[in-house]
Amino acid sequence: MADHHRTFGIHTTAIHAGESPDPATGALVPPLHLATTYHLGTAENGAAIFAGEKEAYVYTRWGNPTVAAFERKAAALEHAEAALATASGMAAIAAAILTIVKAGDHIVSAGAIYPSAYHLMVTQLGALGIQTSFVDATDPANVERAIRPATKLVYLETPGNPLLTLCDLEAIGAIARRAGVATICDNTFASPVNQRPLDLGIDTVVHSATKYFCGHGDAVGGLVAGRAAFIERCFTEPLRYYGGIMAPFNAYLMLRGTITLPLRVERHNANALALAAWLEHHPAVARVSYPGLPSHPQHALAKRQMPGGFGGMVCFDLKGGIEAGARLMNAVKVCSLAVSLGDARSLITHPASTTHSVVTREARLAQGVTDGLVRLSVGLEDVEDLIADLDAGLDRRQ
Ligand code: LCS
């Protein structure tokens, strides 16, 4: 089953990889195993399991059949040898990083990453004696310059949250390999349907599976995918002891969602491209950021690196600033004013009046979050309805 991706297309892989009929009942759908503990049989059998002579499920924090099925499916989609499912995207990021770095080590990270990942590095890892240098990773030379003797990890996210800037994974992967430094890429925004960092020379991928893998906005989870030896270490070291495993019920929902991942992402891509192109010509809009538009400064890289499509996230800047953003948020009826992304429903945020209203204007602007910035997670609705919904909230008299 792990070899599915070598012979089958992505839709077949998403449906069949990691699954097989339940040996006990013949059930075609992987059963939801909620049991926290498993019968060890006899004392002798239990001893053999604990001595590592026999493989068996023992306790759900150490392994669960429903979670394992999701891990196999996710690994096949990412072209990874193995994957680990976690309680959230942040649990995946923390576990993957802590597998690599220890006190005294140094990380080079892209600056344009999900804010909680940034805070994890600055506050939590900083307190453990792990230093991080944040660089503009849109230019691989900046990553190369920041690598020091103590550097153990280059951390990337592409497209980056929220401004959709890209990192050249092939170029940065090669720089890190030459320096003997490990690489992690957060592939949440692209999903493996659009971009496979491991095929481009990145060592490990992390995901907030809460987003496109789940796809229906009803389960929080994360993934680490990469080489089998790394995944084993990630499990036996940080994950097992910090305990951020995925709950079986969430794995069941993730398995169900992942079956349609390629189908959904194709439509997210198509809807987002159409909306971005429409927004670019709207009189109320100053600027659109979408990797699939020729106006994106890294469009050539996007075409190379994202063969499946350019994703469902679109950012745009309103000429009318804060007031125009608030007006749009209050006018939309099909799009929901909500954080998160990758849902079937379109989700819209205006950071200046919502998520970023607590930071100073100067700090906000320094992060590229302008007064009129709108972030849209384009859903699976009819694109004509999305266009009409946004148009009703945008002032055409600009
Ligand atoms: N990585 C990326 C790129 C994300 O966007 C998020 C969450 C995470 C990791 C963390 O995943 P979680 O632990 O929440 O599963 N992004 C969010 C966002 O943009 N709005 O709300 C959450």
Radius of gyration, alpha carbons of the chain: 22
Answer whether 166 contacts ligand 1 (Cβ < 6 A): no
Token pair in block for residue 113 = 């990453």
Distance 89 CA to ligand 1 centre (A): 6
Distance 159 CA to ligand 1 centre (A): 13
Confidence tier at 4 by pLDDT (50, 70, 90): very low
Q: Are residues 313 and 243 in the same domain?
A: no
Q: Are residues 127 and 248 in the same domain?
A: yes
Q: What is the mean pLDDT of residues 223-232?
A: 98
Confidence tier at 397 by pLDDT (50, 70, 90): confident
Among protein residues, the one with the nearest Cα to ligand 1's atom 20 is 340
Whether the pLDDT of residue 2 is over 70: the answer is no
Q: Would you please indicate which residues are annotated as catalytic (active-site) residues?
A: 61, 114, 186, 211
Token pair in block for residue 232 = 């084993």
Residue 40 resides in a domain = no
Of 12-21, 188-197, 362-371, the least confident = 362-371
Residue 5 resides in a domain = no
Distance 221 CA to ligand 1 centre (A): 10
Name the domain count of the chain. 2
Q: Are residues 302 and 225 in the same domain?
A: no
Answer whether 90 contacts ligand 1 (Cβ < 6 A): yes
Among protein residues, the one with the nearest Cα to ligand 1's atom 12 is 89
Whether the pLDDT of residue 161 is over 90: the answer is no
Q: What is the mean pLDDT of residues 43-48?
A: 96
Answer whether 151 contacts ligand 1 (Cβ < 6 A): no
Token pair in block for residue 277 = 């192109």
Q: Are residues 229 and 108 in the same domain?
A: yes
| Predicted confidence (pLDDT) per residue in 311-332, tens digit | 999 999 999 999 999 999 999 9
Query: What is this structure's pTM?
Result: 0.96
Q: Are residues 202 and 138 in the same domain?
A: yes
CA–CA distance, 294 with 73 (Å, rounded to integer) = 34
Among protein residues, the one with the nearest Cα to ligand 1's atom 4 is 114
Answer whether 290 contacts ligand 1 (Cβ < 6 A): no
Q: Are residues 242 and 265 in the same domain?
A: no
Residue 190 resides in a domain = yes
CA–CA distance, 9 with 367 (Å, rounded to integer) = 39
Distance 154 CA to ligand 1 centre (A): 19
Confidence tier at 6 by pLDDT (50, 70, 90): low
Residue 176 resides in a domain = yes
Residue 345 resides in a domain = yes
- Of 156, 149, 90, give the one whose Cα is nearest residue 125: 90
Answer whether 220 contacts ligand 1 (Cβ < 6 A): yes
Give CA separation, 173 vs 58, 143, 144, 180, 301, in Å: 38, 10, 10, 10, 15
Among protein residues, the one with the nearest Cα to ligand 1's atom 16 is 340
Q: Are residues 167 and 197 in the same domain?
A: yes
Angle at CA 45, nearest 5°, toward 41 and 51? 140
Q: Are residues 95 and 145 in the same domain?
A: yes
Answer whether 388 contacts ligand 1 (Cβ < 6 A): no
Q: What is the CATH number of the domain that holds 216?
A: 3.40.640.10
Q: Are residues 344 and 373 in the same domain?
A: yes
Give the structural domain span for 327. 261-393
Q: Are residues 18 and 110 in the same domain?
A: yes
Q: Which of 194, 225, 259 is the last residue before a domain boundary?
A: 259
Q: Ligand 1, from 88, 114, 376: best to mutate by most atoms within 8 Å of Cβ?
A: 114
Answer whether 354 contacts ligand 1 (Cβ < 6 A): no
Q: Which of 238, 259, 280 is the last residue before a domain boundary?
A: 259
| Predicted confidence (pLDDT) per residue in 90-118, tens digit | 999 999 999 999 999 999 999 999 989 99
Q: What is the mean pLDDT of residues 122-127?
A: 97
Q: Which of 259, 294, 328 is the last residue before a domain boundary?
A: 259
Q: What is the CATH number of the domain that holds 370?
A: 3.90.1150.10
Answer whether 349 contacts ligand 1 (Cβ < 6 A): no
Residue 223 resides in a domain = yes
Residue 204 resides in a domain = yes
Among protein residues, the one with the nearest Cα to ligand 1's atom 17 is 340
Residue 155 resides in a domain = yes
Q: What is the mean pLDDT of residues 154-161?
A: 96
Whether the pLDDT of residue 1 is over 70: the answer is no
Q: Are residues 306 and 332 in the same domain?
A: yes
Q: Are residues 208 and 252 in the same domain?
A: yes
